Amino acid sequence: MYSLARPTTTGLECYQITVSSIRSPELKQHYEAATPYIANRCAEYDTIAESNRFEEAAGKDFEVDSSHGVNMATLYQQQFTQNQRPRNIRENLLLSARHGLCPYCGYGSVTQLDHYLPKESFSATSVHPSNLVPACADCNHAKRAYVPNSNSPALLHPYFDVTFDTRWLTAKLERSEISLPTIYFDVRLEEVNPALEERILAHFKQLNLWKRSASWSGQLLSNYANFLMSDYGRELTSDQVIYDLRAMATRTSRNHVNSWEHATHIAMSKSEWFIENRMEIAEKLR
């Protein structure tokens, strides 16, 4: 999970560029007539986003009703994703992800754009770049049409949440009944902030990140077991293994501080049980 620079193209600019690609002059006129309304709604989105009050969006009108004579779903599907000029904006949004990794989870490959506020109920921001987040298929699918409101905390927004840049993801390695390690992830903020903690927990729950992180860290443990069983790994002392794990933790936190890999490496290095019994555990994990 990591933050991304907010797109420089405004909602109004993107809407106008998208509309300019419509061929039928009559149809284009309808969309042009709706421009002030769309511009107003995108500005409202920006105000809410900049002050991190996404829970209030559900109570405001972001629907483009039939009186405007336009169809935002069609505009998104047929113009924004198909025509060259808006497609350049789309491509740049997809390319903005660091190393092509999804900012929501920090692990999956970016393949699509997610509407942070779903286009089904917030159609006015369907082509607003600040509402379009590059995402992996798993996050986009798990997020579905999640709408933040007073009962559902807003998920983390890569363009507006600086909280991605302070460390809050921790992990603990525990011995399971069959003497194999199990990794438990947890959220611990440096400063007490119940509202933010609720949002991070909602983010993990909705995007299925507890389960997905556990699966990724299981693969990491298994790979490390292979290393420990190699000629090189067998020769390392406990202190050298701890040093190696800490070095990997440092490397894996360079791209994003709340990386599950970083948390896993630290958890392994801190577990006396794992360090002392590593060869026996590695034999079982391989």
Radius of gyration of the chain (CA): 23
Q: Cβ of residue 158: shortest distance to Zn ion, in angstroms?
A: 10
Q: Cβ of residue 100: shortest distance to Zn ion, in angstroms?
A: 11
- The yes or no reply on residue 104 touching Zn ion (CB under 5 A) is yes
SS3 sequence of 154-200? CCCCCCCCHHHHCCCEEEEEEECCCCCEEEEEEECCCCCCHHHHHHH
Contacting Zn ion within 35-74 (CB under 5 A): none
Q: Cβ of residue 140: shortest distance to Zn ion, in angstroms?
A: 8
Which CB atom, from 142 or from 248, has the smaller least distance to Zn ion?
Answer: 142
**How far is the C-alpha of 206 from the C-alpha of 92, rounded, in Å?**
27
Q: Cβ of residue 183: shortest distance to Zn ion, in angstroms?
A: 19
Using CB under 5 A, which of the segments 87-95, 128-136, 141-149, 171-179 binds Zn ion?
128-136
CB 30 within 8 A of CB 22: no
- The yes or no reply on residue 160 touching Zn ion (CB under 5 A) is no
- The yes or no reply on residue 142 touching Zn ion (CB under 5 A) is no
Q: Cβ of residue 139: shortest distance to Zn ion, in angstroms?
A: 3
The helix/strand/coil state of 115 is strand
x/- track of binding to Zn ion for residues 244-273 (CB under 5 A): ------------------------------
Using CB under 5 A, which of the segments 105-113, 191-199, 227-235, 260-268 binds Zn ion?
105-113
**How far is the C-alpha of 85 from the C-alpha of 9, rounded, in Å?**
12
- The yes or no reply on residue 216 touching Zn ion (CB under 5 A) is no
Residue at 181: amino acid letter:
P
Q: Cβ of residue 215: shortest distance to Zn ion, in angstroms?
A: 13
**How far is the C-alpha of 137 from the C-alpha of 203, rounded, in Å?**
16
- The yes or no reply on residue 102 touching Zn ion (CB under 5 A) is yes
Residue at 257: amino acid letter:
V
Q: Cβ of residue 155: shortest distance to Zn ion, in angstroms?
A: 12
Burial class (CB in 10 A: 0-12, 13-18, 19+), 32: middle
| 260-271 exposure pattern, b = at least 16 Cβ within 10 A, e = fewer | bbbbbbbbbbeb
Which of 4, 34, 133, 139 contacts Zn ion by CB under 5 A?
139
Contacting Zn ion within 108-127 (CB under 5 A): 108
Give DSSP secondary structure letters for 108-122.
Answer: SBEEEEEESS-TTT-
- The yes or no reply on residue 136 touching Zn ion (CB under 5 A) is yes
Which CB atom, from 207 or from 266, has the smaller least distance to Zn ion?
Answer: 207
The helix/strand/coil state of 113 is strand
**How far is the C-alpha of 270 from the C-alpha of 181, rounded, in Å?**
13
Using CB under 5 A, which of the segments 95-103, 153-161, 166-174, 240-248 binds Zn ion?
95-103
**How far is the C-alpha of 133 from the C-alpha of 119, rounded, in Å?**
13
Give DSSP secondary structure letters for 254-283.
Answer: SS-TT-HHHHHHHHHHH-HHHHHTHHHHHH
Q: In terms of residues, how long is the chain? A: 286
- The yes or no reply on residue 155 touching Zn ion (CB under 5 A) is no
x/- track of binding to Zn ion for residues 181-200 (CB under 5 A): --------------------
Using CB under 5 A, which of the segments 136-144, 156-164, 167-175, 210-218 binds Zn ion?
136-144
Residues that bind Zn ion (CB under 5 A): 102, 104-105, 108, 136, 139
